[in-house]
Amino acid sequence: MSCSFSVDGVDVTVDDDGGSLLDALRDHLGKRAPKDGCSPQGQCGCCTVLVDGAPRVACVTPARRVAGRRVTTLDGMDPAERAGWAERFCATGASQCGFCTPGIIVRLAALEAKGVGPDDEAAVERSLAAHLCRCTGWRTIVEAFALGADEAATRNAGRDLDAAAQRATLEGGAAQHVGPEVALGRAGFADDTAPDDALVALRSVDGDWVVAESLAEARARSGKRQGRRTTEALAHPIALPEGDWVATLRTTWVEPAYLEPDASWCAPGGEPASPLANGGAFGGKVASEVGAVARRLADEHGRPVRVLSTRED
């Protein structure tokens, strides 16, 4: 079966393999603006797109649900409007690594299109409840919205981008670029730069790495399900203190926290892409095995291999 809809003004048809809209956008259509920060939990907002003009979280939206509808990613927005948002976010420091901001900009653009004024901080903060940001907090994002379409205010914000990049690199311990394109998610994240024909590797229930032609096939072969319906046994990292409690509450690393996926890819004989990308990549780990695994698997298979490791792994 197949599913047809419009993406960024272009009619498309994808196989209906039961996957999410995010899977269709990234893995079938090569759309890199929506990011995978927590799929399939729908908690981080990094994959937010517009469906018939309304914000939707793509990782929990089945692709078949948008059949016949109009999907708009950040890259499909009016170029002048998109550039304006990038400048606003850059002017106030509302984007650091740039992983979460494509989804945030899409939601704020929809909010502005509804007529919400630049001074309505309460409305902005309510809309941001659908998003997680590992870097900035909300203050600078609210300030970016408050600039509105005031080009003069944006130009006169007076940030020294080179100094900002140097400071971010020193504070974060990983190279970080600062500029308008970062807010648009174009900071060179590993999972965005992998070749379209790269094999996909995921860890299986047995702890081994399974390699497949597609993400959907790798997931099926791994025997695992991540997120709220995880196949992993839930382990509580902190024991409850003894006592006569009226109620108790415990959480785990995988429920309902977002997953912080690490990603890398490598071509045979090449150097692996860093999972840290632009200063951390939404929680990318300083010590991660994905680069070494990508190099080994690429050499073994004689093809580029994209390695994804979730928080559960």
Q: Which of 148, 155, 147, 101 is nearest to 128 (CA)?
A: 101
pLDDT of residue 256: 44
Tokens (6 digits) for 100: 């979460």
pLDDT of residue 257: 46
HSE at residue 184, side-chain half, CA atoms within 13 A, is 19
Identify each DSSP E strand in the chain by its residue range: 2-7, 10-15, 48-51, 54-57, 70-72, 199-203, 209-212, 262-266, 305-309
The Cα angle at residue 49 between residues 159 and 118, in degrees rounded to 5:
45
Q: Which of 210, 145, 174 is nearest to 282 (CA)?
A: 174
11 Cβ contact partners less than 8 Å away, ≥ 6 residues apart: 4, 5
Domains of the chain are 2-76 (3.10.20.30), 79-187 (1.10.150.120), 191-236+249-309 (no CATH)
pLDDT of residue 306: 97
Instruction: Give yes or no for a contact between 33 and 184, defined as CB atoms under 8 angstroms apart.
Output: yes
pLDDT of residue 240: 84
**Do the bridges between strand 48-51 and strand 54-57 make them parallel or antiparallel, or are there none, so unpaired?**
antiparallel
Splitting the chain (313 residues) into consecutive groups of 10 residues, what average pLDDT does each group show?
95 92 96 90 92 96 97 97 94 87 97 95 94 80 87 60 71 74 92 95 92 92 72 71 87 54 93 79 70 97 94 66
pLDDT of residue 166: 73
Q: pTM value?
A: 0.85
35: left (phi over 0), alpha (psi -120 to 50) or beta: beta
Q: How many of the other CB atoms lie within 10 Å of CB of 27? A: 19
Instruction: Give yes or no for a contact between 180 and 94, defined as CB atoms under 8 angstroms apart.
Output: no
